Structures are given as C-alpha cells and as structure tokens.
C-alpha cells in the first residue's frame, strides 16, 4: 500500500471533544502541553481546531484514518497488517495495486 498522492487524498475534518472523544482529546492536549502550550491554551486549541484526517483502505480489512499533517513526516503503518506504507517519490502514482 502506498501513501496517497496529494491530488488523490480523501480528507475529512473532525473535532475532538471531552465528551465524544475523551481519550483522543486528552492525548492531544497532553501532546500540546509537552510541546510548550499551557493547559488552557492546549484545551482551547483542541476544542476549536478541526483536525484533517486522511482516509486509507486496507484491502479486505477496513478503513483507517491518519492525521494529514503526519502523512509526509512519519512512517505510516497499516494497522491491520503491520506493513509500512510506501512513501511516494517525486512522481505520484495512484494507490491502486
């Protein structure tokens, strides 16, 4: 599986909240506090900022989402197979195999 090309990425925006996504909310707040935000600043940022999430599909296994910001800066792993997603070089190719 390959990382989506920018032209073919399917992206949604979602908000984290204390009520609906308490684990993700707290982890994102903690991440921001570690990077220098105050607790109030971190909570405000997480509550008011939509996170862009990119869809990926593992054939015959299911969908998963990755923060769009992480796509180019991290080693992505298919959570169903444990295999790394191949990063695209200068020329983008469709993710269809």
pLDDT tens-digit map of 32-46? 999 999 999 999 999
Which strand ranges, in their side-by-side order, compose the sheet holding 62-67? 11-14, 51-58, 62-67
pLDDT tens-digit map of 54-77? 999 999 999 999 999 888 888 899
SS3 state at 1: coil
97: which 2 tokens? 């195999």
- Which DSSP string corresponds to 56-95? EEETTTEEEEEEHHHHTTS--B-TTT-PBPBPP-SS---S
Q: How far apart are the first and last CA of the chain?
A: 8
pTM exceeds 0.85 = no
């Amino acid at each position: 599986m390959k990382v989506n090309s920018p032209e073919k990425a399917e992206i949604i925006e979602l908000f984290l909240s204390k009520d609906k996504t308490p684990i993700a909310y707290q982890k994102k707040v903690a991440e921001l506090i570690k990077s220098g935000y105050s607790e109030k600043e971190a909570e405000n940022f997480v509550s008011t900022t939509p996170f862009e999430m990119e869809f990926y599909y593992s054939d015959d296994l299911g969908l998963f989402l990755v923060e769009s910001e992480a796509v180019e800066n991290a080693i992505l792993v298919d959570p169903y197979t444990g295999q790394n997603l191949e990063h695209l070089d200068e020329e983008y190719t469709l993710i269809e195999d």
